[in-house]
Amino acid sequence: MYMFSSTSFVVLFLILWTGTIAIKFNNDDVSLNTSDSVDVLQFLPCLSNVTTDEDIPELKIEFSSEHVEHEYIVIFDNYYSSKSRYNYIEAAIKKCPQVVTWSILKRDNPATHYPSDFDVLKLVNDDDKSWLDLLLDHPAVKRVTPQRKVIRALKTVHETDVTDEDEDLQAIKGKPCLEGCWSQNWRSSRPLKRTSLALSTSGFWHGNNRHSSRRLLRALPRQITGALHADVLWNLGYSGKGVKVAVFDTGLAENHPHFKKVKERTNWTNEKTLNDGLGHGTFVAGVISSNKECLGFAPDADLFIFRVFTNNQVSYTSWFLDAFNYAILKKINVLNLSIGGPDFMDHPFVDKVWELTANNVIMVSAIGNDGPLYGTLNNPADQMDVIGVGGINFEDSIAKFSSRGMTTWELPGGYGRVKPDIVTYGSAVRGSGLKSGCRTLSGTSVASPVVAGAVTLLASAVIEKGNVLNPASMKQALMASARRLPTANIFEQGMGKLDLVRAHQILSNYKPQASLSPSYIDFTECPYMWPYCSQPIYHGGMPSVVNVTILNGMGVSGRIIDKPVWHPYTPQNGNYIEVAISHSSLLWPWSGFLAVSLTVSKDAAGWGGIAQGRITLTVESPPQNGEDAPRQSRLKLPIKVKIVPTPPRSRRILWDQYHNLRYPPGYFPRDNLRMKNDPLDWNGDHIHTNFKDMYVHLRNAGFFVEVLGKPFTCFDAKQYGTLLIADAEEEYFPEEITKLRRDVENGLSVVVLADWYNVSVMKKVKFYDENTRQWWMPDTGGSNIPALNDLLAPLGMAFSDNVYEGMYSIGDHQTHFASGTSIAKFPSDGLIIGRSLKNQGHEVLTGETKTQDDIPILGLHQQNPTSGRVVLYGDSNCVDSSHLQKECFWLLEMLLQYTSFSNLPIDLSDESTISLPPSGQLPERMEGNHLHRYSKVLDSHLGEPKPRPLPACPHLAWAKGEPLNISAPSNLYQHQKLLSVMDAGPMVVKQPNVQQRSGIAVERVDDWELPPGMSHSNQLDNSNAYPLIAFFSTVLVLVFFFVHVHKRKTRPKRRKGPRLKRFTRLQERFYGKFPSV
């Protein structure tokens, strides 16, 4: 028998009253926090599921990736037998004038005896590449790429352990780097290649509202299925039956007690085992399909286990390709891929993912664990045809680890797409243990199987309907039913939080159609529409680009017929908006893009206000299932923007995006050499990705920031006060160099933020591939200093190839100079500011620490009173959020005060200028670099690369508007919901009774109507407000009850007979009559 104090009794009463109260205990204090996703039975009779960070060790993941020496994947244009593939390769290579010894690697796996579309070619010596051209010329050969080896390492560490980042920071504080530590094997907390995306449960407390002053205990739901109300579908008779779901991971034990329908286990590795030696694959499979202890969503689904990682966490691209082909042969319905990496240009892998979804496989993939930095999406979750899943905690806050958008495929010339698609619980989720029992993990690789399990459960409800179920329709249902989180933006949450019950309602009444994501564009809706809502548009500005994803549920292929039409709303000033539209010529597989460019007409140059309109388009797919006519779906994209009068030139900053390069496709190294565990520059260098914090600071300071995605010859310098060049890796056209000099003479100011460059250091930070015993050389340094010096040469300025680091101050401000360069050449009448810094380049090359005084790091100059002002600074890390240690936004704002307003802040004017030493030889390009392979400027020639011809400036085709003389909705989000209610028919769904399962109260499901555009139905998630109302109501009831009892106790005792009788009647009223003895 359990004893309860008075406080425990009150808490218990509140739990039973509201049904959903999360409790946090700290010594004798009790705090209550309402939640809609907590298993109340876990509190009775003890708090058995309250955990602390100390209870759960951190699961740390390390990665490596390397090319395999002399091994190449030959991709064919179709599926052929092994004999035919051999003959094709032999016919091509035998034409080679040199003797080439080659062989086809034997692949011993379940797909061996089936036709395939690739082979792994091994050559004894591949120095002479003439065989490669002959192979590519063969009509049956589609592509030849190097074989890749992927390594994923899982280990358990504790909070007291020193992490890689701690080691980096210790080095910054003065710990010297010993000989050999600058050239290392690839080990990264951010994966170069596809890797598991699991974290520890310590990531649970990674919400935006984290309480940092003390450690709090937290209450977690015992069953993830209860938190998402899977009981509702179970009670309707759906449990995953008839759905084939594949788990690509580390395998599964043969007789694991949690699984009852494991149809097949296959091994695609070089180890002779099917079992899981690590537990990650077991956990993922359990979240999807466990039927005991820690329940999965679809216990009756047919489970196919694909073991694609060894116990040493090694995998190869060819293993995945074979396994993907086998999944197609097995007619898999749902495939979970809890791996990811930034390489969206791994063509064999990406192409195979497209082929999978084209074969009706619904792929669910983790978006990545590289948050809170923006521009960190992982592939394949960033593909349009894949359901990309982000993570939230049980407080419905975006998990700190969850990667953020936008996609970086489209950079530098365009703008990224919206991802993730949806978010769900990915922190402290319970799943199956290695042999039995349950364990708790966090990460987007946990959120991914949550969605995959939900998709499997949903699929079992509609699988008998035939053509209803496909990757597009499932994605449409998930996104249309998702509940929007009120504090997160579109690049954090996508369409919102997974709502399983509402998704079932939509899918049950689904009719094949196309839809848009996002379903509307509203530049006035913050914070959801950030960054679009962060800056109004105006005449003369660079067009704002919104990339909308088209989901086509009518068929795997489709097209937009005719041209999309722009309809400005006449009463809402729609004629002030100019719109240019481009789109995919073919929607395949299941998706495409609609790029919308927005700017302001000349008539509104001095006008401010709200303008609205809409775009209409028609999507068509071929007829199916005996239909006579093609399928068509007519879509509307509402647009709402805020227009302001054109700002003065001094307030307008132009960000140079065109000359930023990133991984992939080339090896562009990190800007901060101390961050050895994140060696690649892969976040896009955009103001809305890793330079987001800088952009927000500039907007708060009153500046308008525009993005230049084309050469310098394509903008009007008279419109802008300052051109901002940061971390540039690209070369420059000669015409750009000439134009910039002329623009500066005519009043354009320029700020250049450089980074390290040193050929000897570049050779030192190369990667050693232990498998191939070869070095991977960078294509440039943190910045392309030789190219920048060519650009600055007409101005009499140049950077050096020295590398420095250290803390320094200007006035009352302090910042960190991280792997920056110094100024080598500058006009004598300019202001040059120097500081004492450590020579990091010397340390890299010799292992010795050396400090030097008066290092010229900042230069300011104006040639004459009518010319623009030029500022050079040797480091961009202090405004780049990738490895931000001590920001210098204050310094950038000072520099912009000087360049834009000719106002030199007192902290800078009080500085005394230093003299430059005699300039020696300026930095030269590294001999044998491969920058020309990835450059938009350089052309590949035998010998020295030369600039390409200057491309013509892109010109947008502005749509001719067809005005609508009707009123536009004031709130597009709410308006779309109202349209769905008016236009759609009612949905008939069986209403289960309120039941308890896994400790979760399942309420009746309200009728909900299907939106015609599917993605218009998102609703704001205010469910947390209802337990709060219930809590306060309970408090009032308790107060009234105790006051009433107190009054009764203080009254004189009289007329006992009648009072006892009234009390008896009161008992009968609440508990019913008792039988008399």
Query: What per-residue confidence (pLDDT) applies to 999?
Result: 33
Task: Give the residue-averaged pLDDT of 235-258.
Answer: 96
pLDDT at 585 over 60: yes
Q: Which residue has the higher pLDDT, 36 or 500?
A: 500
- 320 band by pLDDT with thresholds 50, 70 and 90: very high
Contact by Cβ (8 Å): 305, 281: yes
Q: Which residue has the higher pLDDT, 259 or 192?
A: 259
Task: Give the residue-averaged pLDDT of 178-202.
Answer: 43
Query: What per-residue confidence (pLDDT) applies to 725?
Result: 98
Burial class (CB in 10 A: 0-12, 13-18, 19+), 927: exposed
The predicted model scores a pTM of: 0.81
Q: Which residue has the higher pLDDT, 244 or 1023?
A: 244
Lowest mean pLDDT among 30-39, 75-84, 803-812, 1056-1065: 30-39
Query: What per-residue confidence (pLDDT) applies to 1051?
Result: 56
Q: Report which of 679, 657, 678 is spatially closest to residue 762, judged by C-alpha positions.
A: 679
Query: What per-residue confidence (pLDDT) applies to 198?
Result: 58
Token couple for 315: 């995998």
The percentage of the chain sitting over the pLDDT mark of 70, rounded to a whole number, equals: 77
pLDDT 10s digits, 591-628: 999 999 999 999 999 999 999 999 999 999 999 988 99
Task: Give the residue-averaged pLDDT of 423-444.
Answer: 94
Terminal-residue alpha carbon distance, the chain: 29
Query: What per-residue confidence (pLDDT) applies to 777?
Result: 76
Token couple for 251: 């395998």
pLDDT at 157 over 70: no
Lowest mean pLDDT among 52-56, 273-277, 370-374, 665-669: 52-56
* Residue carrying structure tokens 């509104």: 604
* H or E element at residue 167: helix 164-172
Q: Report which of 934, 880, 943, 939 is spatially closest to residue 730, judged by C-alpha positions.
A: 934
Query: What per-residue confidence (pLDDT) applies to 61?
Result: 45
Q: Report phi then psi at 323, rounded to 5.
A: -65, -40
Query: What per-residue confidence (pLDDT) applies to 10?
Result: 37
Q: Which residue has the higher pLDDT, 1033 or 212?
A: 1033
Q: How far apart are CA 367 and CA 205, in angstroms?
A: 19
Q: Which residue has the higher pLDDT, 946 or 1077?
A: 946
pLDDT 10s digits, 380-425: 999 999 999 999 999 999 999 999 999 998 888 889 999 999 999 9
pLDDT at 1056 over 80: no
pLDDT at 266 over 90: yes
Query: What per-residue confidence (pLDDT) applies to 476?
Result: 97
Name the active-site residue from 196, 397, 445, 881: 445
Query: What per-residue confidence (pLDDT) applies to 150?
Result: 67
Query: What per-residue confidence (pLDDT) applies to 669?
Result: 78
> Is 280 annotated as catalytic?
yes
What is the residue type of 38? V
pLDDT 10s digits, 545-575: 999 999 999 999 999 999 999 999 999 999 9
Token couple for 557: 């292929």
Q: What are the C-alpha distances in Å from 914 to residues 417, 440, 853? A: 47, 59, 11
The percentage of the chain sitting over the pLDDT mark of 90, rounded to a whole number, equals: 62
Contact by Cβ (8 Å): 471, 385: yes
Asked if the bond preceding 527 is cis, omega within 30° of 0, the reply is yes
pLDDT 10s digits, 336-378: 998 777 777 778 899 999 999 999 999 999 999 989 999 999 9
Q: How far apart are CA 719 and CA 749, in angstroms?
A: 11
pLDDT at 30 over 70: no
pLDDT at 237 over 60: yes
Radius of gyration of the chain (CA): 31
Q: What are the C-alpha distances in Å from 222 to residues 256, 648, 953, 1002, 1009? A: 20, 58, 59, 15, 32
> Is 436 annotated as catalytic?
no
Name the active-site residue from 249, 322, 671, 779: 249
Q: How far apart are CA 899 and CA 751, in angstroms?
A: 8
Query: What per-residue confidence (pLDDT) applies to 313?
Result: 79
DSSP letters spanning 318-349 = HHHHHHHHHHHHTT-SEEEE-EEBS-TT-HHH
Query: What per-residue confidence (pLDDT) applies to 1045?
Result: 72
pLDDT at 214 over 50: no
Q: How far apart are CA 136 and CA 121, in angstroms?
A: 13
Q: Which residue has the higher pLDDT, 420 or 1017?
A: 420
Name the active-site residue from 206, 258, 280, 686: 280
Q: What angle do CA 271, 274, 276 make, to 5 degrees?
A: 95
Query: What per-residue confidence (pLDDT) applies to 1028?
Result: 62
> Is 370 annotated as catalytic?
no
Other beta carbons within 10 angstroms of residue 995's beta carbon come to 13
pLDDT at 741 over 80: yes
Orientation of helix 1025-1050 relative to helix 6-18, angle to 10°: 130
pLDDT at 506 over 70: yes
Q: How far apart are CA 780 and CA 925, in angstroms?
A: 8
- 27 band by pLDDT with thresholds 50, 70 and 90: very low
Lowest mean pLDDT among 52-61, 284-293, 691-700, 931-940: 52-61
> Distance of alpha carbon 313 from its chain centroid, rounded?
24
Q: How far apart are CA 134 and CA 1053, in angstroms?
A: 108
